[in-house]
Structure 1
Amino acid sequence: MTTSPDHVASREDLASFVRSLHRSYADGGESWDNADLAGLLEALAAWVDDADGWYRNTSRELPTHGDWRFFAQALQAATMDE
């Protein structure tokens, strides 16, 4: 089970991480700052917009070759029935 984004190195790790977020939400998501879908998506967009600042402030390098399309496709697919 992957519970930290720092340990995501594969597609399987990403799926495990998303499942751990889901469990966290199920176990007390009302305590999240962004506990509804609208707030979560808005916060996600804001974080992506400012990711370079977060990486700079944490002395990390923003990945230039991340598969942004894969993540976008995953988000889109999650809005539809399986």
Structure 2
Amino acid sequence: MTVAGLAESAREVRTREDLVGFLCLAAEDFTTNPDDWENDSLPAFLEAWAAWLNDCPGWFARNGEAVPESPSWKFVGDMVMAARVYE
């Protein structure tokens, strides 16, 4: 899978089932394309996820959107995509 394909899969997440499928694809992508992942260990990935979540109000503001009050399944997928490369 390409980074574009994984990103497209993340954009298509709408339901719990979609998120499950996306997470399986992300795990497969990590295994087959580890160089595409800036955060290549679970601690690094979780730290990046937390850092992005902390900084996400700025991301939403730059994109003309409000931070979701109640995260959607799609937002969880977006967080995973961000955490894979966030420093």
Normalized against structure 1, the TM-score is what?
Answer: 0.68
Alignment of 1:21-36 (within 5 A): 21-36=26-41
CA contact (8 A) 1:2 1:20 kept: no
- Is the helix fraction higher in 1 or 2? 2
- Structure 1 segments unaligned to the other structure (5+ residues): 72-82
**Residue ranges of structure 2 left out of the alignment (5+ in a row):** 1-5, 77-87
Question: Whose Rg is larger?
Answer: 1
- Distance, in Å, in 1 between the alignment partners of 2:33 and 2:7 is 19
1:46 aligned partner:
51
Q: For residues 4 and 50 of structure 1, what CA distance do their matches in structure 2 show?
A: 23
- What is the percentage of aligned positions where both structures have the same residue? 29
Identify which of structures 1 and 2 has the higher relative contact order when contacts are C-alpha pairs closer than 8 Å and 6+ apart.
2
Superposed CA RMSD = 2.3
TM-score, normalised via structure 2 length: 0.65
- The DSSP-based 3-state class of the residue aligned with 2:70 is coil
